[in-house]
Amino acid sequence: MTRVASSPPYTRGLTKAALSGIVLNQGAVAKAGFRRADDFVRKPFSQRLLAERVKAVLRRWGGKEGTVRKETEPAKVLERGQLRIDPERHMCTWKNEPVTLTVTEFLIVQALAARPGVVKSRNALMDAAYDDQVYVDDRTIDSHVKRVRKKFKQVDDSFDMIDTLYGVGYRFKE
């Protein structure tokens, strides 16, 4: 990626190729007159990877010129009926009882509960729980969901908020 000291910290409305600070091919460095590159994104690349690289450039850019970074807003606590998820504290409670989840399980529950009633495919849950560098079989998600259900049932035997739609994915009940 290339960083230009005078580029603004926003990217809305720009095409991928026009994003200041991002080099999509090596020829663009010379054509655009960039002085230095601190990273390079090889094609083909995922949009998620590009977005993460843009965020990294903007974080680095924000620290220059003596600007003070504002404290990001605290992550909002997600409440869905009896479920309460606090991402900052990595805490999950069901009926005010703590449920101990691994990081992956926590991210899966958070992805499902974020949009109750909406079906999430295994691939969507893999994207929510793992980064692009990790390869997992889609059946791994099944194992995680099974363990999540088991942990919630330890707190409440009648827990049945995660539906399985065979051949499609999972959803959190409304």
Domains observed in the chain: 1-72 (no CATH), 78-172 (1.10.10.10)
pLDDT in tens, 132-171: 777 888 788 999 999 999 999 999 999 999 999 998 999 9
Res 117: pLDDT? 92
Q: What is the pTM of this model?
A: 0.58
pLDDT in tens, 49-81: 777 777 777 777 665 444 444 555 666 898 988
**Helices 138-155 & 103-114, crossing angle to 10 degrees?**
90
State how far the Cα of 126 lies from the Cα of 170, in Å rounded to an integer.
Answer: 12
Q: How many C-beta neighbours within 10 Å does residue 124 have?
A: 16
